[in-house]
Amino acid sequence: MTTAAGDSTPDGHREESGVENSDLGKGALGKDALGRGVDKRGRLHEEVGVLVLALLFLVLPAYVRSTPRGPVHLEKRDVRPARIHINRAPWYEWMLLPGIGEARARNIVEYREEHGEFERIKDLLKVPRMPRGWVESAREHLTCAE
């Protein structure tokens, strides 16, 4: 004997698979509340279409309102370069400067903790393994004043 899915059991009993013969290969037909035949895939496409239209109805007006009207004017302002205080900056702030990686930043802070605060920016040249031209090139980003 064969089951609804086409398999037979060794003892000849019928297995129930939960799938009706009418659902196999016929486009997954179902019944609506009134007992009429309904194509489930067609219904799914309708629901997806309604969902897309609802999203467009909600999202599109917000997008249209957010776009600027007319020409956009940019303000030109003089921006002061960011400065770090050489006696207060933690190692991770030193890494914001060009040419300073984590090892060199930690080296600067370690030197400062061992030898005391720097009196002026040029004192950074005393830090071991500090590149010669770096202090002058980074001067605009450094401060020692209170």
The pLDDT score that the predictor gives to residue 22 is 46
pLDDT band at 31, cuts 50/70/90? low
The pLDDT score that the predictor gives to residue 58 is 82
Quote the CA–CA distance of 24 and 7 in Å, as a whole number.
14
What DSSP element (H or E) covers 59? helix 40-66
Q: What is the pLDDT of residues 36-62, one digit of tens each?
A: 666 666 677 788 888 888 888 887 777
DSSP code of 4? Answer: T
**Tokens 């037979």, located at residue:** 8
The rounded percent of the chain whose pLDDT value lies above 90 is 29
Between 38 and 25, residue with greater pLDDT: 38
Domain boundary assignment for the chain: 25-64, 84-143
The pLDDT score that the predictor gives to residue 48 is 85
The pLDDT score that the predictor gives to residue 40 is 66
The contacts of residue 125 (CB under 8 Å, 6+ apart) are: 132, 135
Instruction: Provide the CATH topology of domain 84-143.
Output: DNA polymerase; domain 1 (1.10.150)
pTM comes to 0.46
Q: What is the pLDDT of residues 103-127, one digit of tens each?
A: 999 999 999 999 999 999 999 999 9
